[in-house]
């Protein structure tokens, strides 16, 4: 009888301590959200020769090398559109459009005529989000 009671107590103890379906099911981790870097942020897009909006960049010769530098690049890359316009008659002297996934993008602006004032416009647009766009404009003239 003692053994029967002991076996009964042990069985009840094992059943009471079992790790059955009382715990909640594990929840999957939330998906990783990738935030696209802002091109419009301060320093997001920098043109290495940019003299500012109130100054004129003086070019020696008929071409000028520029670098479009990005602080961070969107995963899908960017489009860089460059346009050189004569201020006197608004005619286009140079255009360029490149697709890039690099932080530094060299470009050579050609077709400058000495003594003519130009407006250079560089537009950098994310391929993922079209509203993530930065435009840098300044004036330049060849000597």
d(CA 9, CA 130): 72
Q: What is the DSSP track for 70-86?
A: ESS--TT-EEEEEEEEE
Look up tokens 């509203």; give the residue. Answer: 131
Q: Per residue in 42-85, pLDDT tens?
A: 999 999 998 988 899 999 999 999 999 999 999 899 999 999 99
- Cite the DSSP H helix spans in the chain: 2-16
Domains and CATH numbers, the chain: 45-142 (2.60.40.10)
Average pLDDT (18-26) is 63
Predicted confidence at residue 52, as pLDDT, reads: 86
Q: Per residue in 28-41, pLDDT tens?
A: 888 888 788 999 99
Say if residue 94 is exposed, middle or buried (CB neighbours under 10 Å; 0-12, 13-18, 19+). middle
d(CA 140, CA 49): 10
Question: Residues, the chain, total?
Answer: 143
């Amino acid at each position: 009888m003692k053994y029967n009671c002991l076996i009964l107590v042990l069985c009840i103890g094992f059943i009471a301590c079992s790790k059955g379906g009382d715990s909640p099911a594990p929840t999957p981790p939330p998906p990783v959200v990738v935030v696209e870097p802002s091109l419009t942020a301060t320093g997001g897009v920098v043109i290495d020769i940019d003299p500012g909006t109130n100054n004129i960049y003086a070019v020696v010769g008929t071409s000028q090398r520029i670098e479009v530098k990005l602080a961070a690049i969107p995963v899908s890359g960017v489009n860089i559109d460059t346009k050189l316009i004569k201020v006197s008659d608004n005619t286009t002297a140079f255009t360029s459009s490149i697709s890039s996934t690099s932080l530094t993008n060299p470009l050579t602006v050609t077709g400058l005529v000495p003594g003519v004032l130009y407006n250079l416009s560089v537009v950098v647009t994310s391929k993922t989000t079209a509203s993530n766009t930065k435009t840098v404009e300044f004036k330049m003239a060849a000597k």
